Amino acid sequence: MTARFTMLASGSGGNAALIDVDGFGILVDFGLQAKDLSGRLALAGSSWDRIKAVVLTHTHSDHWNGRVLANLRSHRIPLIAHPLHLDHLEQASPSFAPLQRAKLTRAYEVGAEIDFAPGITGRPIPVSHDSDPTYGFRFDCRDDAGLAWSIGYAADLGCASDELVEAFAGVDVLAIEFNHDEKMERNSPRPKFLIQRVLGDRGHLSNRQGADVTRVVAARSGPEFPQHLVLLHLSDECNHPMLAEAAGRNALAGLNPAATVTVAKQHEPSRSIKLGRHRHSANRLAARAESHPTRLTCAAPKSRPKPSLPGFEVAVR
């Protein structure tokens, strides 16, 4: 099995991630112009013909694009989103109605796995952010021998809950927000309300907070997990890649210093991460949290799931 994870874009200018398993592509968010997104897919060795499903995490404008909705319709690609996301898109974009009429929309529910293809699943996890609701995702791939690899993905959140940490424990790839340096944010010329919003529990994770999440996830995982840390949604104004990378590496130093650390980019795809069975896959989720007792107090927000749409090829269970 050939599988890889690629951040196509990450930041306030637009977000999109690609999971490709033997040519079966899953796009997570689509916050770029259609032409730009097509170009990023090509740079990552993919194309719209390989995309089989698109998942939306929330409805801030840097995570979806109306012209891409039209592209999904023309390529017969299903959009999977929370019911409230679908309601928002129906009001916000004239390109949504044709997609819905073509029966290419599907609602996911909190607590229910999305079956993308045999052995490939995704699970939404509610997170705290000021686009309500917002979700992180855990993606798993299973083969005849069991769980082969997993990805934990959370691009926008103001604080992390124990629910999110438990969901991400044991993942091979941890892709988590490292949005800002707190000192740079506080000293920035941004309006006070924006600074308070970013620093709040419904804003964005700082380098320090992202490192805390990384440290706790690694502590609750098995040996050598996560293998890869991907730093998401860095602020151009209030962060620097070197600061974010140093925070990520320090978080893993006492737990898994061999892990790779990748800073996701805004204007070009990041390097692809190959996914496969790890030699310690059978030993995921070793109990090591007691020696690294970082406390997370953010409660996961409540959601209002609605029934899924019938008659659609991507199953939800």
Instruction: List the chain pLDDT tens, one digit each, 317 residues.
Output: 789 999 999 999 999 999 999 999 999 999 999 999 999 999 999 999 999 999 999 999 999 999 999 999 999 999 999 999 999 999 999 999 999 999 999 999 988 999 999 999 999 999 999 999 999 999 999 998 899 999 999 999 999 999 999 999 999 999 999 999 999 999 999 999 999 999 999 999 999 999 999 999 999 998 889 999 999 999 999 999 999 999 999 999 989 999 999 999 999 999 999 999 876 666 666 544 444 444 455 655 554 433 333 333 343 33
Q: In angstroms, what is the C-alpha Rg of the chain?
A: 18
Given the structure tokens 């944010």, which residue do they identify? 185
Beta strands 24-28 and 173-177, pairing class: unpaired
Largest CA distance in the chain: 55
CB atoms within 10 A of CB 120: 21
| pTM tops 0.85, yes or no | yes
CATH architecture observed for domain 3-297: 4-Layer Sandwich (3.60)
CB 263, CB 229: distance < 8 Å: no
